[in-house]
């Protein structure tokens, strides 16, 4: 019997497809693993690189700090080094240099360049600029306002010491009065036409009395010559006995042209002395005096440093945490701000600040007040615009104290000299004929001939060189003014009525980081 076997029909075999799928999945897994591993390695490498850069930056700052400490040490050093190659060195690794040693007697600016290294040699370099102020205190009455440039007075009166830092003091054309001492640090004093200095006169160069009446209440010390050819003068008559009005010269004294005069002290010249027949001298007189009798106490250099320019910039944060600030928007830079000065400050604030830093056009500070201004106020004007003060009305102070107004045209550069951006001889000041507040007018740009205002004011006049020798100062009475923590200015320095000087205390203030740039 024959048997017939039937074959089952072919169907698709899925085992190959499954194998392929497994292979693909494995490949994807491998790729993913590789990518993950690469990401991990990149992250590890980046973290390591960031760590090295951070180490290098921290090391650079450590080098900066050490260089700063070395520069400010009693014996200044201009470098600081801690390198990995140095035996026994431990991180942080750095090398730093300072460009100059900061002055021990003068305000100065210096730059520190510091390079820091990570453990693998990664480098970071920073350049840091520091400023350090040096202040002088314990002079009788403190120090005084800053006046720069040749100073010509016309029918004016100034109460307080006057320091002319550059150029001459010229009072040869009309009656003017200084109720205090006159210091001319880099020039001469020319006095005539009924000019009066109630205190003493100190000049680096000459003292000259012109053709008409001159009165010096204290003494005269001239680094060079004293020449007197006036028909009437007196020296030392304001001093209280036993103080006397000496005339002392570092070179020559010549009285031959004098018509009449009186000196209550002695006359001594290091060089020649030529007497005048009409001059009465209470003490001795002569030339060829040794050692040189023209000795200044304090020295002219000390006076220059004590009265050096105080830089005030536009940073409102420097004026203290108790100031309630008003910001004047650009386009409103001449509005009347009286309401700011008469509105009670916010809780915890005791003083007022008006910030004009947003102004790109010229600023006019308008305050019109008849009555009490109860709060000390500072006005901050940026360096790049011109400034004018227009104080009107009859402002007064609360009972028991005097309100202070500080009008500040910010200085552009912290280098202890006035830096004017907007143009010299352009700022202006107008004040009422009667004011019961103290005013500080601060400008690095100077003030030109004040034809629009001859009214008196009390306070401080702190001005750079106006660029004009025809500078006319209004009737002005110096008053001590202070705004903690920035300003503390008095009105007297040096010898008090010729009887002696205070003890000079030099204070080196902490160095302040002005700018820092990372390369």
Q: Domain-by-domain residue ranges, the chain?
A: 44-135+513-518, 151-307+490-502, 311-485
For residue range 126-153, what is the model confidence (pLDDT) as tens digits? Answer: 999 998 877 655 433 334 455 554 444 4
Check whether 431 has a pLDDT greater than 50.
yes
Check whether 90 has a pLDDT greater than 50.
yes
Q: How confident is the model at residue 405 (pLDDT cuts 50, 70, 90)?
A: very high
Check whether 442 has a pLDDT greater than 80.
yes
The answer to whether residues 332 and 360 touch, using CB atoms and an 8 Å cutoff, is no
Residues in the chain: 519
Out of 152-161, 165-174, 321-330, which region has the weakest mean confidence (pLDDT)? 152-161
DSSP 88-154: T--SSEEEEEESSPPPSSS-EEEEEEEEEE-TT--EEEEEEEEEE-EEEE-STT-----B-S-EE-S
For residue range 65-75, what is the model confidence (pLDDT) as tens digits? Answer: 999 999 999 89
Neighbour count for residue 100 (Cβ, 10 Å): 12
pLDDT of residue 414: 76
Q: Say which residue, 488 or 429, is predicted with more confidence.
A: 429
Out of 354-358, 436-440, 474-478, which region has the weakest mean confidence (pLDDT)? 474-478
Per-residue exposure over 319-340, b if at least 16 CB sit within 10 Å of its own CB, e if not: bbeebbbbebeeeebbeebbeb
Q: Say which residue, 60 or 450, is predicted with more confidence.
A: 60
Out of 5-14, 240-249, 412-421, which region has the weakest mean confidence (pLDDT)? 5-14
Q: What residues contact residue 64 under an 8 Å CB cut-off, 6+ apart?
A: 96, 112, 114, 126, 128
Check whether 1 has a pLDDT greater than 60.
no
H or E element that contains 364: strand 363-372
pLDDT of residue 180: 82
pLDDT of residue 141: 34
Is the overall model pTM greater than 0.85, yes or no? no
The answer to whether residues 109 and 130 touch, using CB atoms and an 8 Å cutoff, is yes
pLDDT of residue 400: 93
Dist. CA 82–CA 69, nearest whole Å: 14
Alpha helix ranges (H) inside 443-506: none
* Percent residues over pLDDT 90 in the chain: 46
How are the residues of the chain apportioned to helix, strand and coil, as percentages rounded to the nearest 5? 15, 35, 50
| Average pLDDT for 486-491 | 75
Q: Say which residue, 337 or 463, is predicted with more confidence.
A: 337
Angle at 439 between CA 436 and CA 440, to 5 degrees: 165
Check whether 274 has a pLDDT greater than 70.
yes
pLDDT of residue 333: 96
3-state secondary structure of 344: coil
pLDDT of residue 202: 95
């Amino acid at each position: 019997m024959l048997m017939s076997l039937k074959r089952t029909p072919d169907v698709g075999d899925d085992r190959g497809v499954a194998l392929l799928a497994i292979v693909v999945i494995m490949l994807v897994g491998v790729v993913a693993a590789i990518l993950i591993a690469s990401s991990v390695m990149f992250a590890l490498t980046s973290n390591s690189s960031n760590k090295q850069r951070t180490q290098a930056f921290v090391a650079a700052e450590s080098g900066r700090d050490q260089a700063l400490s070395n520069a400010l040490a009693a014996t200044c050093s201009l470098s600081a080094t801690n390198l990995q190659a140095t035996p026994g060195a431990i991180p942080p690794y750095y090398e730093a240099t300072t460009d100059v040693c900061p002055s021990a007697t003068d305000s100065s600016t210096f730059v520190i360049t510091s390079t820091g290294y990570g453990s693998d040699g990664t480098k970071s370099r920073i350049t840091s600029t520091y400023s350090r102020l040096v202040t002088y205190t314990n002079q009788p009455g403190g120090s005084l306002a800053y006046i720069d440039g040749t100073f010509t007075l016309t029918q004016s009166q100034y109460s307080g010491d006057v320091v002319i830092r550059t150029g001459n003091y010229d009072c040869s054309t009309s009656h003017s009065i200084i109720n205090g001492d006159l210091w001319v640090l880099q020039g001469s004093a020319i006095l005539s036409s009924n000019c009066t200095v109630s205190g003493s006169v100190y000049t680096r160069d000459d003292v000259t009395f012109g053709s008409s009446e001159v009165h010096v209440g204290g003494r005269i010390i001239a680094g060079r010559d004293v020449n007197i050819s006036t028909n009437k003068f007196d020296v030392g008559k304001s001093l209280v006995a036993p103080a006397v009005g000496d005339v002392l010269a570092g070179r020559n004294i010549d009285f031959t042209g004098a018509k009449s005069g009186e000196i209550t002290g002695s006359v001594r010249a290091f060089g020649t002395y030529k007497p005048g027949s009409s001059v009465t001298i209470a003490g001795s007189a002569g030339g060829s005096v040794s050692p040189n009798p023209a000795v200044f106490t304090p020295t002219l250099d000390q006076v220059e440093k004590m009265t050096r320019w105080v830089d005030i910039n536009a940073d409102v944060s420097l004026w203290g945490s108790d100031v309630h600030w008003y910001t004047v928007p650009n386009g409103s830079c001449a509005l009347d701000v009286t309401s700011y000065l008469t509105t009670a400050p916010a809780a915890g604030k005791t003083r007022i600040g008006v910030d004009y830093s947003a102004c790109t056009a010229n600023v006019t500070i308008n305050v019109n007040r008849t009555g009490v201004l109860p709060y000390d106020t500072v006005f901050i004007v940026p360096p790049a615009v011109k400034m004018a003060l227009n104080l009107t009305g009859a402002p007064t102070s609360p009972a028991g104290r005097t309100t202070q107004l500080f009008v500040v045209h910010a200085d552009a550069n912290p280098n202890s000299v006035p830096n004017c951006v907007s143009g010299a001889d352009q700022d202006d000041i107008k004040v009422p004929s009667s004011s019961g507040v103290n005013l500080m007018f601060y400008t690095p740009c100077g003030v030109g001939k004040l034809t629009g205002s001859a009214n008196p004011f009390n306070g401080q006049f702190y001005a750079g060189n106006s660029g004009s020798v025809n500078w006319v100062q209004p009737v002005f009475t110096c008053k001590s003014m202070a705004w903690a923590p920035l300003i503390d200015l008095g009105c007297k320095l040096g010898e008090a009525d010729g009887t002696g000087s205070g003890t000079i205390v030099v204070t080196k203030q902490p160095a302040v980081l002005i700018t820092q740039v990372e390369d």
